[in-house]
Structure 1
Amino acid sequence: MTWTFDHLAFNSADGETLQENFAALLGLTRGRRPPFPFPGRWLYQDAHALVHVIEQPTFEETALSHIAFRTDTPAETVLQRVRDSGLPYQLAQVPGEGIWQIFVQMPGGLVLELDALA
């Protein structure tokens, strides 16, 4: 199973300011985002969304939400590995894209998002 870094995601009450800072420092630009049922924005370098911002008005400070990796391994294989690990997880799908998201709770509070195709 081979993994590739996909993106970092942040929770922020002020997505606009975060976007402006990433643009000024790294040259990232706002781009297409699937129709998730919560507000946010994706910030791109070329064709790749490196930073996802989840807009949460309850957050006073911007905080890391999760780190995402992707694989070409089928989602069911990845899910079985996660189940075998015994770590807690949640499943979701990217709307309209056929990508399964497996959110794994790592010790210490870190969350990994493992993305795989159905």
Structure 2
Amino acid sequence: MQLDHVTIRTADIHATRAFFETVFDLTVGERPSAIRRIPGCWLYADGQPIVHIIGSRGAGFDLAAEAIDHVGFRLQGYAAFRTRLDGFAIPYSTMDLPDIGERRLFLRAPGGPLLEAVFSEAVPALPLENDHDLH
């Protein structure tokens, strides 16, 4: 199974769009004419529309809250991505899952949606405390 797309409902379409363009190198692309009445945009990676951003106000609705629990993006280059986030001063938390060989970073987009960056990388082994006492 693969992630097809995620839709993020936000009060600040511009900031959310800029965030995804900057952090994930996504590009704005075409949307079907049937949904163009809804404020928003589609963001593409490798020719596929994977993030849909829509307004939480307008086109006959007015929702107070942003909507999505979290969305996972499978990426490569854990260290480089952390450096990228640090360069943009974007706060994040980490989670290493050595039993399945994954490292994860959690960050928030403007408006609050939680994002998870998943990397299939071996988790570095931590040195054992007092390992010289194990003999």
TM-score when normalising by structure 2 = 0.42
TM-score when normalising by structure 1 = 0.47
